């Protein structure tokens, strides 16, 4: 198996960082070698230096870049992940949103949704919420991996995605599929839509409607500080005043921006876009 030299690792890191802000850390060298080795084999390339040039110059470079990033980003996701935060969302954030909303509609964005487990989880929780019955709910999941989005649209999942799902939730929100897999029930699937979006593509994001809530959990940790700043600024632009930004439990906006205010709820700390005036 080809070994990645420190220089090749840096060059690949530069390519990924420019493309989507993803930082290939040095301690991930082993993982990167292992996960990208089949790509070298498939493309008939001799080493990672040649692969780096392929990613820059080959006509299929964009397609390959997406494959590479998809292989390297952990994208760990499953239904009802981080239940404490979801409880806070259901018990404390939704009532606040319902109270503030103009009209009976909510726009929620799951940024970096990978294969769709998070937006579908939100659809299940919101569709089930007594305060939101009869509301128009638009849940958008975006990701830069077309492969992940294709899985998300298919809405069929294996046991790994149900690690945190109770038998009751499984019965209520999923239909059984072949090979012990499950499919998201139509009523929870149909209010979720998906889009192909690089979070560094401000132009693309500006086409999105003004959001009431943005979920971006365990995505920023893979970005460098500058990219985080840009992405958080984008979130600030896309959120309506008083809207909420939900990050992963180990993430915060310290040293990134002052555009959000930290609000302590009884179950969790969340960020909110301040109202002006």
Give the C-alpha separation, 82 to 91, whole Å.
15
Residue numbers 183-202 binding another protein by CB under 8 A: none
Token pair recorded at residue 63: 């397609």
**Sole binder of another protein in the list 18, 25, 83, 206 (CB under 8 A):** 25
Q: Are 137 and 106 in contact (CB under 8 A)?
A: yes
Enter the DSSP assignment of 131.
Answer: G
Give the integer Cα–Cα distance in Å for 255 and 257: 6
Instruction: Please state, in angstroms and rounded to a whole number, the distance separating the CA atoms of residues 174 and 143.
Output: 23
Q: How far is the CB of 197 from another protein (least distance, A)?
A: 21
Among 103, 167, 180, 203, binds another protein (CB under 8 A): 180
Contact track, another protein, 140-179, x by CB under 8 A? -------x---x----x-xxx--x-------------xxx
- Residue 244 β-bridge partners: 213, 272
CA separation for the pair 116, 46 (Å, rounded): 35
Minimum CB–partner distance for residue 92 and another protein (Å): 5
Among 2, 10, 90, 138, binds another protein (CB under 8 A): 10
- Which of the ranges 102-110, 117-125, 236-244, 259-267 carries the binding residues for another protein, by CB under 8 A? 259-267
Give dist(CA 39, CA 198) in Å, integer: 22
Please tell me what DSSP assigns to residue 179: G
Count of residues that bind another protein according to CB under 8 A: 49
**Contacting positions for another protein (CB under 8 A):** 6-7, 10-11, 25, 27-28, 30-31, 34-35, 38, 41-42, 53, 56-59, 74-76, 92, 95-96, 147, 151, 156, 158-160, 163, 177-181, 254-255, 258-259, 261-266, 274, 276
């Amino acid at each position: 198996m080809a070994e990645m030299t420190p220089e090749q690792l840096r060059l690949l890191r530069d390519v990924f960082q420019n493309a989507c802000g993803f930082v290939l850390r040095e301690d991930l060298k082993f993982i990167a070698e292992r996960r990208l080795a089949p790509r070298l084999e498939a493309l008939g390339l001799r080493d990672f230096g040649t692969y780096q040039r392929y990613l820059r110059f080959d006509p299929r470079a964009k397609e390959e870049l997406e494959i590479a990033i998809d292989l390297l980003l952990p994208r760990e996701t499953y239904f009802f992940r981080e239940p404490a935060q979801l409880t806070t969302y259901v018990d404390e954030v939704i009532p606040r949103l319902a109270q503030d909303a103009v009209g009976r509609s909510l726009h929620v964005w799951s940024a970096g949704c990978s294969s769709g487990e998070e937006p579908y989880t939100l659809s299940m929780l919101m569709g089930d919420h007594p305060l939101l019955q009869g509301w128009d709910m638009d849940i958008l999941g975006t990701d830069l991996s077309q492969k992940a989005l294709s899985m998300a649209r298919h809405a069929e999942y294996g046991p790994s995605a149900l690690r945190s799902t109770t038998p009751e939730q499984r019965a209520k929100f999923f239909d059984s599929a072949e090979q012990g897999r499950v499919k998201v029930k139509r009523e929870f699937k149909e209010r979720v839509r998906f889009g192909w979006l690089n979070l560094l593509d401000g132009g693309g994001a500006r086409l999105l409607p003004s959001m009431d809530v943005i979920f971006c959990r365990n995505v920023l940790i893979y970005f460098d500080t500058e990219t985080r700043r840009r992405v958080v600024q984008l979130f600030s632009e896309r959120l309506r005043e008083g809207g909420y930004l939900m990050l992963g439990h180990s993430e915060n906006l310290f040293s990134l921006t002052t555009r959000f205010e930290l609000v302590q709820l009884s179950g969790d700390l969340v960020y909110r876009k301040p109202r002006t005036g």
